[in-house]
Amino acid sequence: MKKFLKILGVVFLVIFALLIILPFAFSGKINSYLENTINENLNAKVSFSDVRLSFIRNFPNAHIAIYDLKVNNLAPFEGETLATAKTIGFTMSIGELFKDLEKEPLVIDRFSIDEALLTLKTDKYGNSNYDITKTDSSAVRSEEPSTLKFSLEDYSINKSAVTYEDEGSQIKLDITELNHSGHGIFSADTSELDTKSDANISLSIEGTNYLSSNPVKLDALIGLDIPNSKYTFKENKGFINQLPIAFNGYVQLLDEGQDVDISFENPESDFKNFLAVIPETYSKNIENVQTTGSFKVKGVIKGLVTDTTIPTLDISIKSDNASFKYPDLPKRVTNITIDTEIKNTTGKTEDTYVAINALNFNIDDDSFRSAATLKNLMDNMQVTAHVDGVLNLAKISQVYPIAMKEKLSGILKANVNTAFDMNAIETNAYERIKNSGTASITNFNYSSADMLHPVKIASANVQFNSGTVTLKNFNATTGESDINATGTIKNLTGFLLSDNTLQGNFNLVSKLIKVNDFMSDENASGTENKGSENLKIPAFLDCTINAQAETVVYDNLNLKDVSGTLTIKDQTATLKDLKSSIFDGALTVSGEVSTQQETPTFKLNLNANSFDLGKSFKGLELLQNIAPIARLFQGKLNSDLNISGNLTQDFSPNLSTVSGNALAELLATKISSTESPLISKLGSSLRFIDFDKLNLKDLKTKVSFADGKVQVKPFEFNYEDIGITVSGSHGFDKTMDYNAVFNVPAKYLGSEVNRLIGKIDTKEANNLSIPVTAHIGGTFSNPDVKTDLSSGISNLTKQLIEIEKQKALNAGKDKVKGMLGNLIGNNQTKSDSLKQEQSKSVQNVLGDLVGSKETTTDSTKTTTTTKETVKNVLGGLLGKKKKAQDTVK
C-alpha cells in the first residue's frame, strides 16, 4: 500500500511538473499564431507585452492570457490609439493546443477582458478608425474557413470604457465604468443568453448634453436565433438612474440594416418614479419622499434602421396632478403636470419632433407654466416656447434639497414667447428670431463665500423684442458700490443655446464704485491664492459699455468724475478716452488689457495734466519706480506715458516686464531737500549750489524703460547762471547711474583765480566757465556721489593760457609795426652796420613772438602755476578746501 501511494505521489508530481513545464513548449506556437492571425486580418499596429499559457489556472482546461494589448491606427488616423486592454484571457480545451491550426479552427469556450478602453471615431469625411479589417478580393481566400471559432459558455468585460465620436453629426457618446457578463451556448442554432450590464452613460449631440454620467443597468435574457440573426428580449429589466424600465421585442439583422420592434414602460406609475430619473447627486435620497399623482413612461420603437430610414417612434411621458415633499423640508411642490411626446410617424429623421405640451407646477401661490415644441431635430432644429410664471427664489431650497452654500432670495417674473431655428441662432439672423414679452427680478440677494459682499439687485426689467433684448433698468449694489444700467442685448438666445458670444451695448452710471467690492474675499484681503488660475476676461462677451461714475476707488486711489467707453471682445478690454480727475489734475487713459494668453497683458497710453507731484508719487507705485526722485519735488506735473507689459494674478502691472516711454514736464516745481540722502550728498560735494533755491519750472525730459531699467535722455536746466545737463539711468531696484555736468562761470572760482583773470584785461575772460561732472551711483537711499575735476582743470587752464598768448601776440604785433615804420622812415645813406643792428633787433622781437627757448620756459612755468591755482580753487568749489569764503561769490 505504501508503495502504491508512493507511486501515485510520483505520478501526481510528474503531472504537476508537466502542467508547469508544458506551457513553455507551446508559447512559441501561440505567439506565432497570434502574430499570423493579426497580420492576416488587421490593418493596424498591434503590440502586447507578454503572452502566457497556464494549465493550472482553469484545470483541466488551458488558459491563455495576453497582457497590455495596444492597437494603434494607420492612416488616416495614424498616431491614434484604437484600443487598449490590461489583460485578455481565453479558456479552451487542452486538446485545442494540439490542433493543426492551418486546417482546423481554434475553439474558444470562455473569454474575459479587463480594463479595456475602446475609442471609436468617424471623421468629418466619413472615415472610421475602427474599419481596420483587411479586404481581399481573392475568391479562394474568402472561401477559406476561419481560424477562430467561439463555443462560448461564459464571457465578461470588466472595468472598461467606450468612447464614440462622430465629427460629421457632432455626436459624442461616453460609456464608463462598464461591466458586462453573459452566460449561454453560442454553438447551438437556438439558445438563450443571460446577461447583466451596468455603466455610466454621457451623450451630447451638437454640443447639447442629454445625458451626463447617468447610471444605466440592464438584466436581460436574450433569445438567440443564430440562423436568422434574430435576437429577442424575453425577461428583462433596466434602470435609468433609479427608474425601472421593462421592455420586450426583438432586433433582427438584415442585409439592408436592422429590423427593430421594441416596446417599453415603467412597471409602476407612482410619481416617485419621476424623481428616480433625476441623477441621485441632485435628487438625494428619495426613499422617504412623500408623493401624490402619477408618472408614466411608455414607448414603441418599430421599423427599419437603414442608411435612409429610422424606426417610427411613439414615446410619451405623462404626469397629472402630482406633488412631492421631502421629509426634512417645509414646503411642497403641487399641481405638477407633465405632458411630453416624442414622435416620428414616417421613418424619416427630419420628421422626428418633441412636444412639451405642458410643464407646470405651483409652490404655494406662485405658479409656473411652460410649453415648447422642437421639430426637425437632426437638421435645422425649429423651436417654439412659452414661459409664464412667478418664482420666489427663496422657496427653491424649501422644496428641493439643492446644494447651495448661500441662500437665494428675490422674485422672478416672466411672460415670454420665442420662436427660432438653430441656423438663425448660429448665424445671427435676427429677423428669424421672434421674441416677445417681459421678465423682471426684484429684491434679489445673493452671497457666496467667494465674494466679499452680497449682490443685491433692487430691480431689473427686461423687454424681449424680435432679435434683441432691451435692459430697461438694472439697479444693484454690492458693498458700498452701486450700479445703474440700461442697454440692449442682441443675441441672448444664441448665447444661452449655443456657443455664440453675448453681444450688447450698455450705459452704466454710478455714484461710487469700489473695485475691492467686486473682488473675492481672498483677493481683497491681499492673500495669495496659490495654484489658482489667472483672472480671465470672459471669451463670450462682445459688448460696449459707456460708463460714468462720480467716484471710483481702487486700492488707495480716488478717481473723480470718471467717464469713458469700455469695449470687450475676444478676451480683450479696450479703453477709449477714459477721463478722470485725480491728484488735483486730470487723467486720460486709452489702451487695452488682454487675457487671450495664459499671462494677461496690457498696453496703455496715459496723459496726466497738472498732477500734484507729492500726491501722485504717494499714490502711484509705477511713478515711484519710473521717477523715484519725484518724491523730492513740489509742484505740478504734465506727462504723456506709453506703457506695456504683463499683469499679475490680481491685474497689477508686473514691474519686471514693464516697458515704454514718457515725456514729462514740470510746472512751478521746486525741490524739497528735507531728509534726502541724495540732496545731502550733492550739497556737500557741490558747494556752489543751494538746492533749496533750485527752480525746475518748465523743465521737460524724456525717459524710456524696459527690463526693470529707466533710461533718461539728456535734459538741461539752469541754477541762476550755472548751466546743468543731466543724463543716465536707474533701475526699479532703486540703483542709480547718472552724470550731472555743471558749467560753472569764472566768478564762482574764488579770489586766486579771479586775481589771475584780473591780469588779463579782455572781454573773453569775463565769459570763462568750467565743466564740473558729478557721477551719481549707489541707491536713492544710500547714494554715492563722485566728482570729476580733470576736465574742468584742463579746460580752464587752456582758456587762461590761450588768452595770455593772444594778449602777447597782439602786443608783439604793435611793437613790430612801430619798428618797421622807423626803419622805412630812416635815411637810405646810413651805414651797413646800423642796418644790421636794426635788423637784429627786429629778429629778436620776431623771435620773442614766435617763441624762443626762454619764452617757452616762461610759458611752461606760467601754465604749471595756472593749473595748480585752478586745481586748488576747484577743490574749494567741491568742498575740498576750507576757505569757503573765497569759493562762492
Query: Residue 526: its pLDDT value, please?
Result: 47
Q: How far apart are CA 691 and CA 687, in angstroms?
A: 10
- Reply yes or no: is the peptide bond before residue 311 cis, omega within 30 of 0: no
Q: How far apart are CA 536 and CA 596, in angstroms?
A: 8
Q: What are the tens digits of pLDDT across the range 784-835?
A: 888 776 666 666 666 666 766 766 676 666 655 555 555 444 544 444 443 3
Query: Residue 785: its pLDDT value, please?
Result: 85
CA dihedral sign, ordered 541, 544, 549, 552: positive
**3-state percent helix, strand, coil for the chain, nearest multiple of 5:** 25, 50, 25
Higher pLDDT pick, 1 / 222: 222
Q: What are the tens digits of pLDDT across the range 433-467?
A: 888 999 999 998 877 666 678 889 899 999 988 77
Helix (H), strand (E) at residue 763 = none
3-state secondary structure of 834: helix
Task: Say which DSSP state 564 is in.
Answer: E
Q: Is the pLDDT of residue 333 over 50?
A: yes
In sequence order, the 6+-apart residues with CB closer than 8 A to the CB of 99 are 106
Q: Is the pLDDT of residue 8 over 50?
A: no
Mean pLDDT of the chain: 76
In sequence order, the 6+-apart residues with CB closer than 8 A to the CB of 861 are none
| Residue tagged 481565453 (cell numbers) | 90
pLDDT band at 314 (very low <50, low <70, confident <90, very high): very high
Query: Residue 497: its pLDDT value, please?
Result: 67
Helices (H), 433-517: 492-497
Mean pLDDT of 275-297: 76
Query: Residue 759: its pLDDT value, please?
Result: 59
Higher pLDDT pick, 625 / 370: 370
Query: Residue 509: its pLDDT value, please?
Result: 94
Q: How far apart are CA 721 and CA 217, in angstroms?
A: 98
Q: Is the pLDDT of residue 681 over 90?
A: no
Q: What are the tens digits of pLDDT across the range 210-224?
A: 677 888 888 888 888
Q: Is the pLDDT of residue 478 over 80?
A: yes
Query: Residue 794: its pLDDT value, please?
Result: 67
Query: Residue 829: its pLDDT value, please?
Result: 46
Query: Residue 803: its pLDDT value, please?
Result: 67
Query: Residue 807: its pLDDT value, please?
Result: 67
Q: How far apart are CA 149 and CA 438, in angstroms?
A: 68
Q: What are the tens digits of pLDDT across the range 29-45?
A: 566 666 666 766 778 88
Q: Is the pLDDT of residue 369 over 50?
A: yes
Higher pLDDT pick, 317 / 517: 317
Q: What are the tens digits of pLDDT across the range 685-744?
A: 777 777 777 777 777 888 888 888 888 888 888 878 888 888 888 888 888 888 888 887
Query: Residue 322: its pLDDT value, please?
Result: 93
Mean pLDDT of 396-424: 84
Higher pLDDT pick, 290 / 14: 290
Query: Residue 372: its pLDDT value, please?
Result: 95
Q: What are the tens digits of pLDDT across the range 625-656?
A: 777 777 667 778 888 889 898 888 767 788 88
Angle at 70 between CA 64 and CA 72, to 5 degrees: 140
Which amino acid, one-letter code, is at 299? G
Q: Is the pLDDT of residue 490 over 90?
A: no
Among 119-133, 183-197, 569-583, which stretch is predicted with the lowest mean pLDDT?
183-197
CA 799 to chain centre: 66
Q: Is-contact 128 121, C-beta < 8 A?
A: yes
> C-alpha dihedral over 402, 407, 412, 417, to 10 degrees?
-40
Pairing of strands 502-514, 541-554: parallel
pLDDT band at 25 (very low <50, low <70, confident <90, very high): very low
pLDDT band at 405 (very low <50, low <70, confident <90, very high): low
Q: Is the pLDDT of residue 858 over 80?
A: no
Query: What share of the chain in percent tops pLDDT 70?
Result: 70
Among 74-83, 118-127, 613-622, which stretch is predicted with the lowest mean pLDDT?
613-622
Q: Is-contact 225 210, C-beta < 8 A?
A: no
Q: Helices 790-825 and 832-850: crossing angle, nearest 10°? A: 170
| Residue tagged 399623482 (cell numbers) | 293
Q: Is-contact 567 574, C-beta < 8 A?
A: yes
Torsional class of 538: left (φ above 0), alpha (ψ -120 to 50), beta (otherwise): beta
pLDDT band at 841 (very low <50, low <70, confident <90, very high): very low
Q: What are the tens digits of pLDDT across the range 693-703?
A: 777 777 788 88
Among 2-16, 197-211, 457-471, 606-620, which stretch is predicted with the lowest mean pLDDT?
2-16
Query: Residue 733: its pLDDT value, please?
Result: 82
pLDDT band at 765 (very low <50, low <70, confident <90, very high): low
Query: Residue 318: its pLDDT value, please?
Result: 93
Query: Residue 29: its pLDDT value, please?
Result: 54
Q: Helices 790-825 and 853-877: crossing angle, nearest 10°? A: 150
> How crowded is residue 3: how many other Cβ atoms within 10 Å of its Cβ?
7
3-state per-residue secondary structure call for 232-300: EEEEEEEEECCEEEEEEEEEEEECCEEEEEEEEECCCCECHHHHHHCCHHHHCCCCCCEEECECEEEEE
Helix (H), strand (E) at residue 794 = helix 790-825
Strand ranges in 123-169 using DSSP code E only, listed in sequence order:
148-166
Q: What is this structure's pTM?
A: 0.59
Q: How far apart are CA 469 and CA 462, in angstroms?
A: 7
Q: Is the pLDDT of residue 429 over 60?
A: yes
pLDDT band at 675 (very low <50, low <70, confident <90, very high): low
Query: Residue 697: its pLDDT value, please?
Result: 74
Print burial letters for 817-842: b (CB count within 10 Å at least 16), e (below 16): eeeeeeeeeeeeeeeeeeeeebeeee
pLDDT band at 105 (very low <50, low <70, confident <90, very high): low
Q: What φ, ψ does residue 602 adopt, rounded to 5°?
A: -145, 155
Q: Is the pLDDT of residue 373 over 90?
A: yes
pLDDT band at 263 (very low <50, low <70, confident <90, very high): very high
Neighbour-count burial of 257, counting CB atoms closer than 10 A to its CB (0-12 exposed, 13-18 middle, 19+ buried): middle
